[in-house]
Amino acid sequence: MVHSRGGELGASSVEYALLIALIAAVIVGAVLTLGATTAGLFDEPCEQRAAAGNPC
């Protein structure tokens, strides 16, 4: 059985925290990048319906 010292446990916690922060940054970047594109997909049909007299 291998016993880890407290310092090694703390280091792995920091590594997991950095990994989670990196994943969160990638998700935020993707949402910001694709958010405007996705919103644009819905704006055009909505404007066309509004021009025809139908609310969105």
Residue 25's domain comprises 13-56
Cβ-proximal residues to 55 (8 Å cutoff; 6+ apart), any chain: 49
User: Is residue 53 situated within a structural domain?
Assistant: yes
The sign of the torsion formed by the CA atoms of 9, 15, 18, 20 equals negative
17 in any annotated domain: yes
Cα distance between residue 34 and residue 55, in whole Å: 25
Q: Mind listing the pLDDT tens digit for each residue in 1-56? A: 455 555 566 778 899 999 999 999 999 999 998 887 787 777 777 777 777 777 77
Q: What is the pTM of this model?
A: 0.54
18 is a domain residue: yes
Number of domains present in the structure of the chain: 1
